[in-house]
Every structure is written in C-alpha cells, then in structure tokens.
C-alpha cells in the first residue's frame, strides 16, 4: 500500500507544488478603487460626445464612454503617482476601449465610437491630473 500511495500521490503533489509556485505569485491586473468614478466620468463624456457627433442614443454612448473609462482606469492602475498620467496614453486607451465597446454593442460608426472613447480618456486625464 505504501508503494501504491507513493506512485499515485507523489506525482500529483509534485505537479501541484510546481503549478502553485509558478502561477500563484503572479499578481493579476486589477483596477484600482477609482474604477466606478472613472467609468462615470467616461459615461458622461461619452454621452456628451455622442450628442455632438449625433451617433446613436445617449444611453449607448454612455455605455461606450463607461467602457472607455474602465479601460483608462485599468491602464493607469499600476502607477505609483496616480496624478502622473500621460494624456496621449489615456486618449489612445480610451479610443481603443470605445472602439471595442462599440463593436461589442453592435453600433455603427466606428469613427464616432473612437471619438467617444478618446473624449472619455481625455476627460479622465484632465480631471485626474488636476485633483490634489
């Protein structure tokens, strides 16, 4: 019985030890405590930009902006100084988030989705860099 236990359980224990030593210490990417605030800023910016570009409804533009705001938050969550943001990065990440959100929600007007996301990223950057 002792040999049987060694042959059956030792390889699985060894595999479990290697797996946990390799993958458990890796810290997953996570948003910070300002996620909902950034999503709200993005939603407001997306709604206003959607009215200006006359693209779809205010609700879907707000969803697009909120997704862009969440993407900008995730891109900046690892920074030590949260006020030290890069405007070009926030605009680019917001534009990408808005484009992807527009594709997922089946909206037409890829350029308008990109503009909504970029505006959300710019609004978050401006508001976050000015907060003391």
pLDDT mean over 41-50 = 91
- CA torsion sign for 113, 64, 98, 92 is positive
Residue 64: exposure state from Cβ atoms within 10 A (0-12, 13-18, ≥19): buried
All structural domains of the chain with their residue ranges: 35-130
pLDDT mean over 76-93 = 82
More confident residue, 77 or 88: 88
| pLDDT digit string, tens, across residues 48-59 | 998 888 877 888
pLDDT mean over 81-101 = 86
pTM of the model: 0.71
Average confidence score pLDDT of the chain: 78
């Amino acid at each position: 019985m002792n040999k049987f236990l060694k042959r059956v359980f030792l390889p699985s224990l060894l595999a479990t030890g290697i797996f946990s030593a390799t993958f458990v210490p890796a810290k997953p990417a996570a948003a910070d405590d300002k996620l909902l605030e950034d999503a709200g800023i993005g939603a407001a910016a997306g709604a206003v930009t959607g009215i200006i570009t006359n693209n779809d409804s205010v609700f879907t533009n707000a969803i697009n902006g909120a997704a862009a705001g969440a993407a900008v938050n995730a891109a900046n969550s690892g920074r030590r100084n949260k006020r030290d943001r890069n405007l070009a990065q926030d605009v680019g990440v917001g534009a990408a988030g808005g484009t992807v959100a527009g594709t997922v929600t089946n909206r037409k007007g890829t350029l308008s989705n990109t503009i909504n996301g970029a505006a959300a990223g710019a609004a978050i950057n401006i508001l976050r860099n000015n907060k003391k």
